[in-house]
Amino acid sequence: MDSWIIALFLKDGKYSSGYVTDDEYQSLRTLYRNRASIQSDMKEVKKRILTQVTVTFPELENFIDIFSITGLALLDKYPTAHHYKHSSVDRILKIFRHIQGNSFNNQKAIEVLELAKTLFIQVKPKMQELLLLKVLLDFLKYIKKNYLS
């Protein structure tokens, strides 16, 4: 049973105030509200990242779960199709060496490079799009590391 379950019980009135002191009760309510707020922020950030990826490298979201550990690592290093211009299969695979249990292999790296090449003909992404995507990715990593681990 974690703090979320306890806070949910308290919120629904399944525990009476006789079992929990007022200070603990208020702390748990605050904890529940903060957790709900962080989850809402995460959804909003993910929505904005998805919007940016749709603009800068739309085929990527159909190829890989961009919110998985490997997807976020790939986006962090190569946020747009344009960034793959000077990349290679080995460079892409090097990103995933430290990630335990990843299934990103040579074939997937080749497929990503091919996807990027078909999109590379498009215009180079604007600086503000890149900056926004980087900020959103950093924020998402920060929330996951500090609040959800």
In this prediction, residue 48 carries a pLDDT of 93
Closest by CA position to 32, among listed 54, 59, 52, 3 = 3
In this prediction, residue 43 carries a pLDDT of 93
In this prediction, residue 45 carries a pLDDT of 92
In this prediction, residue 15 carries a pLDDT of 64
In a domain, 52, yes or no: yes
In a domain, 66, yes or no: yes
In a domain, 24, yes or no: no
In a domain, 4, yes or no: no
CB 132 within 8 A of CB 79: no
Q: What is the pTM of this model?
A: 0.69
In a domain, 89, yes or no: yes
In this prediction, residue 52 carries a pLDDT of 87
CA-CA distances (angstroms) from residue 118 to 75, 109, 114, 122? 18, 15, 6, 9
13 sits in the region (left: phi over 0; alpha: psi -120 to 50; else beta) called left
Q: Which range of residues forms the domain containing residue 116?
A: 45-147
Which residues touch 102 (CB under 8 Å, ≥6 apart)? 69, 70, 96
In this prediction, residue 128 carries a pLDDT of 76
In this prediction, residue 26 carries a pLDDT of 83
| Segments of the chain scoring below 50 in pLDDT | none
The number of domains in the chain is: 1
In a domain, 36, yes or no: no
In a domain, 25, yes or no: no
In this prediction, residue 46 carries a pLDDT of 93
In a domain, 58, yes or no: yes
In this prediction, residue 108 carries a pLDDT of 87
